[in-house]
Amino acid sequence: MRSDLMKKGLERAPHRSLFKAMGYTDEEIARPLIGVVNSANEVISGHIHLDLITQDVKAGIRMAGGTPVEFPVIGVCDGIAMGHEGMKYSLASRELIADSIEIMAKAHPFDALVFIPNCDKIIPGMLMAALRLNIPSIFISGGPMLAGKLKGKAVDLISVFEGVGAVKAKKITPSALKELEDCACPGCGSCSGMYTANSMNCVTEALGLGLPGNGTIPAVLAARHRLAKQAGMKIMDLLKRNIRPRDIATLAAFKNAIAVDMALGCSTNTVLHIPAVAYEAGIKLDLDLFNKISEKTPNLCKLSPAGHHHIEDLDMAGGIQAVMKVISKLGVIDAKAMTVTGRNVGTNLKNAKVFDADVIRQLDNPYLKQGGIAILRGNLAPDGAVVKQSAVAPAMQKNDGRARVFDCEDDAIKAILGGKIKGGDIVVIRYEGPKGGPGMREMLSPTSAIVGMGLDKTVALLTDGRFSGGTQGAAIGHISPEAAEGGPIALVKEGDIISIDIPAKKLTLKVSDQELAKRRKALKPFKPRITTGYLARYARLVTSSSTGAIFKD
């Protein structure tokens, strides 16, 4: 056992003495030591209950003959960090999470690990650590929040963000917004739509690193606690059989996960995180792979913000396993891929069923013939840009508009809420990429304001930053290269015409090559906005969003 390095033999008597100082018995020390990575805190609603999930996991480990050893990890709440300087730290926290887990697992050589995430950057950060360390591992998320209810209608966090714009447009009153605020988030769990947290929890299940149900069983159900105990027991089986993350997360498994991503219509942030996780497994995923799989995989689910269903509805309809069973008929699922159940995907899917064909549509009745996400390219985004095409209105799939240019998110929000953006405009927000932001802020505040003010059918938004999974409308992000690296988005001027053609996967700045060359000569070098602390180091090390915003080798 790996843990023998710190507990076995005459020379390790001092080490055992320190374990005994914490109350561990000789019997507990002799057993396999299983690291339990708990991301509970009192900042994130999706994590407020993770201490309870952790206790379930530890019970499962003990039942199966192991000794759990818990340690913590940080987490940022994207919703609370949204719209201010705090959002610069969200994506940047992903690398710290992965690094800190590596430190803990290397300094204290556990035999296996159980990861307990629930929200946005914590999940990919933990996945990166698992693939990097490559010791037997399993994931058990805290589960999704239930949707709120207001006057018989399902509401959620995004309803509140969009409500801010609705108040500004005088569509609802401030008292109506307060009523919405009070009931949109009814309890613990990752926010209830197909936003980034739930997208990544579902991707983890599809990748094979979480048990069936990991992505969809609601946080408040007893089934979630039973699943946590099963995860604790299952890690002991994975340890016994020496099944490791890289045995599971193969190229075939990543293709499975991307296919599920497309069928569900997940957050555009998955296009950042999946390549970053794959990189830790020694697998390079080109952005064009997303389009190739999207062409074969229809969008079968319309979950909030794209539609009115929520994750609890997806769970009742059969969950991720049912989605995989449906799209497996298209040949986009590799049934031989191994999973943490100890069985392959094909075996797991034998009893999967769709119980609601409105929530999970059949192949002959998709919402879209292609997947939920599209990668766009063109002279404005030579290295790619990302859009959640399943959440874009038909009228905005092809659109030419006038550029309204802002060099930071804050100025754009003021213009939108101040009524300065009109139908036909294309809002361009730049210098918000991984290096330029720094930290690549999510743009939920401006996109929600556009929707709340009723402009989502006539106004598009382009950025080298990124969007929340809760974003809907013609919101195109991850434009690469970013402005801070001299990408073409830095050359856009107020009033330029930009052409968006999502079906053709094109994003074009209608300015001549000669004019762009002239503008490039006049472009001033980018001056970092933050020059001290972690974000300054992050900006120096981070790569393009087209490569998952990983650190340079």
Catalytic residue ranges = 468
Kindly calculate the radius of gyration of the chain based on its CA atoms and give it in whole angstroms.
23
**Helices 157-168 and 174-183: crossing angle, nearest 10°?**
170
Q: Give, in degrees to the nearest 5, the angle at Cα 82 between 79 and 85.
A: 140
Helix (H) or strand (E) holding 501: strand 497-501
Grouping H, G, I as helix, E, B as strand and the rest as coil, residue 378 is strand
**Beta-carbon contacts of residue 143 (< 8 Å; ≥ 6 apart):** 118, 189, 190, 201, 216, 217, 218, 219, 220, 221, 224
Q: Give, in degrees to the nearest 5, the angle at Cα 420 between 419 and 425.
A: 115
Largest Cα–Cα distance in the chain?
A: 76
- Token pair in block for residue 416: 């939108």
Decide if 214 contacts 205 (C-beta within 8 A).
Answer: yes
d(CA 64, CA 146): 32
Place of tokens 């309204």: 404
Put the strands of the sheet holding 33-38 in their side by side order. 67-72, 33-38, 112-116, 137-139
